Amino acid sequence: MTDTWVPLHQIQTPNLQNNLQYLQSRSHEAMQWLSNAYESEALTLQQSGASIRCRTADESLWIIGEHNPEQEIATLRSRLRSQAPTEGVWVILGGGVGYGAAEAAAQVIANEGVRVVVIEPTAARLMACFTMVDLRNGLATERLHFSVAAFTPEAVFDVLVSYNLFEHGAITFTASPECEALVDLNSLNAQLDARRGHWRRERESVLASTSRAKPDADVIRNVLIVNCWQNAPGELHLKSIETYLNEWGIKTHWLILNRYRMDAAGREYQRLAEPLLLDAFQRAQPNMVISYGYHAPQFVSEKVYASLPARWVQAVSNIAYYDQTQYPGELCVPIDRNLIPLFERRGYTQCLFQPIMADFVSPEPTPTDNSIPIIMVGNSLALPLAGQQAFWAQWQGRDRLLQAIRNAEKELSDFDADVDFYAYLNENPLPDINHEDEWYSIFRYLLSQGTAARRRAVLEKLAPMGLALFGSDWDAYLPQNSILRRCLKGYLPMTEEPKAFARGSVFVNIHSIGHQTAPNMRYFNVCGMGGFQISDRPQFDEYLTDGTEAVYANSVDDFAGKVKHFLSAKDERDEIRHAAHLRVSKDWTYQNWLENVIKKLGAKTPS
């Protein structure tokens, strides 16, 4: 930026790019505000020494820097620092083109007991904040919030309600200098107690009304689907479940939450999710809740949970998350039997093992033109290099533990070795573990790196035969000289996977080492669409019979030999894939999953 006045919409900074990229995966509401930000108010900015001046394009209003930019900025910062609470809620009216927002971010990072809301009168001023300051660290705490609203008491208190902040300590209001003329702080403070009391009475009324609701205890009629996996694999499983619920005459309703924010901030995100959940219950009155990958304690408090009369079901992935609390009545449905002891160790008492079922089941096996000899769809699962480095750094000085991790990684990475991931960890307990989170960190590392190494060993052997490898993380994992680089086809969205079935001859399935007693998501999907599959894990014969419904390999050379044979044995492939399609259609759909879950709950469907 030069000393000339530049319209805000012409300014593209690294800070803006970083902030927007962060918000795209975490805050659809903020992105909606920003989508028309430049039309909401025409702002121009000018660099003045080390400072930024800002005014409206028609020069009718100064935001900052009219007389002495440095002094105005110093005054703003001094005011904010002097009024910043060390705990409770701090509402800042006006972000000072980022100068105030930067102070807000610093406060939430420095004080875990503080939650800050920066309210701007226009989206353009909010955009200016994101343009000038990298706010990602503050946003990641889920204790720094932004909103666009008028500065009337009604609008300001509505913002506090939307972020569920009335129960989190004293509330302090501060107006930035550029917004003082728009704000009546005396009115805000005078109405605060009355508004807080009104909110509490409304909340108690809502909780009381939901707890009094007595839906039929036996028949499932309305289901709330909690989707933390928008545009990701978990969403596909939930949509498959919804299909069969609707076929049975059960109404479904969706609550969209954000797994990135939940993982990053836990209880703080629960605070944001609860009002959405209560609103969904009021609208839909569900008597069953299904979520994937996240238990109820991660998005609802026990008090609110107890007031919501519904059966709660949570289907989990192959990684046992940090969940260490189970609310009474919640059913945990892990996809591998070996996960049940891990959840029981965390206090879970109600578990039902169920495999991941088929998301895709075509009426007839998909015809294929055999234009791609071998297809593998799936990531390496390897941690990014920075993640690996951070993992190893945390164990420095703990030599016995470091050696145990290295030994485990070597054993678990050998595809030809008959090693059970869970049995290995039970038989070779990790030494010098201080708490459960450390054990989980190592569990996740070994699962990721062991899986990546095993997949690479097999796929490099298959590469010369015509392999097409789809996945988003292989480029970061593979060494530059790997033969697999010529096979990389990039990311294949799950919704596009059925198109691959019309082209491939042999589909290769190499499971993560976390799948020991039940298969991964593509095991049944390939067969549900009528594809021919060669898989590892011969023990999965209980799901699809070896030689008639699937083909299994138990070593790198065995894999290569069987792939080579079946590439030239079309009639055998067709016979096996047709039998597999029939079996999956009958036994391994989400209809089967739902029947088992509802039976476990002691419930019934309307039909």
Helix (H, G, I), strand (E, B) or coil at 94: coil
Q: Which residues contact 388 (CB under 8 A, 6 or more apart)?
A: 382, 445, 449
Q: Smallest Cα–Cα separation from 64: which of 56, 252, 204?
A: 56
Q: What is the pLDDT of residue 218?
A: 85
* Residue 538 DSSP class: G
Place of tokens 């593979």: 478
pLDDT in tens, 120-132: 999 999 999 999 9
The span from the CA of 404 to the CA of 382, in Å, is 19
Beta-bridge partner residues of 534: 508, 551
Taking residues 302-326, report their average pLDDT. Answer: 81
Q: Smallest Cα–Cα separation from 407: which of 390, 427, 389, 387?
A: 427
Q: Percent of the chain, pLDDT > 90?
A: 80
- Say if residue 371's pLDDT is above 90: yes
Helix axes 69-83, 99-110, angle to 10 degrees: 30
211 pLDDT tier (thresholds 50, 70, 90): confident
**Beta pairing class for 144-148 and 114-120:** parallel
Q: What is the pLDDT of residue 267?
A: 85
- Say if residue 320's pLDDT is above 60: no
Q: What is the pLDDT of residue 164?
A: 95
Taking residues 41-70, report their average pLDDT. Answer: 93
Taking residues 134-148, report their average pLDDT. Answer: 95
- Say if residue 409's pLDDT is above 90: yes
Q: What is the pLDDT of residue 476?
A: 92
pLDDT in tens, 472-517: 999 999 999 999 999 999 999 877 888 888 999 999 999 999 999 9
Count CB-CB contacts under 10 A for residue 377: 23
| Mean per-residue pLDDT over the chain, rounded | 92
Alpha-carbon Rg for the chain in angstroms:
28
DSSP string, 244-302: HHHHTT-EEEEEE--HHHHHHHTHHHHHHHHHHHHHHHHHH--SEEEEES--GGGTS-H
Q: Percent of the chain, pLDDT > 70?
A: 98
The span from the CA of 62 to the CA of 495, in Å, is 50
Taking residues 370-399, report their average pLDDT. Answer: 94
Taking residues 327-355, report their average pLDDT. Answer: 90
Contact 473, 381 (CB under 8 A): yes
The span from the CA of 529 to the CA of 51, in Å, is 61
216 pLDDT tier (thresholds 50, 70, 90): low
Contact 70, 104 (CB under 8 A): no
- Say if residue 1's pLDDT is above 60: no
* Residue 351 DSSP class: B
Q: What is the pLDDT of residue 360?
A: 87
* Residue 472 DSSP class: S
Backbone angles phi, psi at 115, to 5 degrees: -125, 130
The span from the CA of 342 to the CA of 494, in Å, is 29
| First CA to last CA distance, the chain | 67
How far from the centroid of its chain's Cα atoms is residue 14's Cα? 25
- Say if residue 19's pLDDT is above 90: yes
Q: What is the pLDDT of residue 440?
A: 87
* Residue 226 DSSP class: E
- Say if residue 538's pLDDT is above 70: yes
pLDDT in tens, 548-558: 999 999 999 99
pLDDT in tens, 175-203: 999 999 999 999 999 999 999 999 999 99
28 pLDDT tier (thresholds 50, 70, 90): confident
- Say if residue 318's pLDDT is above 70: no
Place of tokens 């980022």: 98
pLDDT in tens, 229-246: 888 888 999 999 999 999
